[in-house]
Amino acid sequence: MAKEDLIKAVLYILNILYAVFGLVTAATGIWFFVELTEFVTLRNTNHYLLDYRVYWPQVAPWFFILLGLFVMMVAVCGWCGTNKESRGLLGLYTIFLILIILGQVIAATLIFIFVDGDATDRFIKDTVYDGYYNSQSNPDVFKQFGRIERKLRCCGANDARDYRSWRNDLPLTCCLDSYYRATCDFTDKEANERLGCAKVAAVYTKIISSSIAGASLIISLLEITGVILAWKLFNSFREVEHYITERKEGETEC
């Protein structure tokens, strides 16, 4: 029994870690979706009426959200199966964990393959460029593009020179430091040294996606441990049931 108690204790800890990972993954997916939507809404929708292609940055947030929710449900299943010593729940838990591991490995591999692809750069850069040009004629888009410049500490679509063709000065959003102090009062040096938002957004997208994919691979190692322990506990409950003999009518324990 001491061995079973140890396995159960480790499974409790692992399921807590799985639940936390699932919560963080789902929250990251929601945050990623909100950030991506902020970029996509900058675009001129008339340019994309006939573009029915789905790019992986648009799919990735939904995958992270669904994965996180599924991991949390599986963690609850594993906790209940361990607590109630239910072979049925432990069996489902083991199967679901294997499916999660396979899904995470496949998804992480695809992300690492396509994250540096031209399609990703094209989607991000086209979105930023379209938003920038749309901001020249739409004040609301101009304000929204400015929020992106302030958030990513970038300037223009390609660089600060983008503004020279239609403005006499740089917008204030190109001149704010991390403490929201203007640095272009006397010189535009810092703003001119900033990268364009297209490049910065593409790099951030790759970093975020690669980080989540790497974290998924790391947590999959813990999930493999959970599969092994759950299977051992599943078999130990079967051995206990095998050795419990049915009493005959009128027979006492002694």
Question: pLDDT tens digits for 91-141?
Answer: 999 999 999 999 899 888 888 887 767 777 788 888 899 889 888 888 888
In three-state form (DSSP H/G/I as H, E/B as E, the rest C), the secondary structure along 154-171 is CCCCCCHHHHHHCCCCCC
Is residue 236, in this structure, part of any structural domain at all? yes
CA geometry: angle at 84 spanning 78 and 87, to 5°?
A: 70
Residues 102 and 142 in one domain: no
Instruction: Provide the sign of the torsion angle of the four alpha carbons 143, 145, 146, 152, taken in this order.
Output: positive
Q: Average pLDDT of the chain?
A: 82
3-state secondary structure of 176: strand
Residues 214 and 167 in one domain: no
DSSP state of 52: -
Residues 78 and 174 in one domain: no
Residues 176 and 195 in one domain: yes
- Who contacts 195 (Cβ-Cβ below 8 Å, separation ≥6)? 154, 155, 159
Which residues constitute the domain of residue 215?
A: 2-46+55-119+209-240
| Tokens (6 digits) for 82 | 């361990």
- CA of residue 24 relative to chain centroid, distance: 8
Is residue 15, in this structure, part of any structural domain at all? yes
- This prediction has a pTM of 0.77
Count of domains forming the chain: 2
Question: pLDDT tens digits for 56-78?
Answer: 777 888 888 999 999 999 999 99
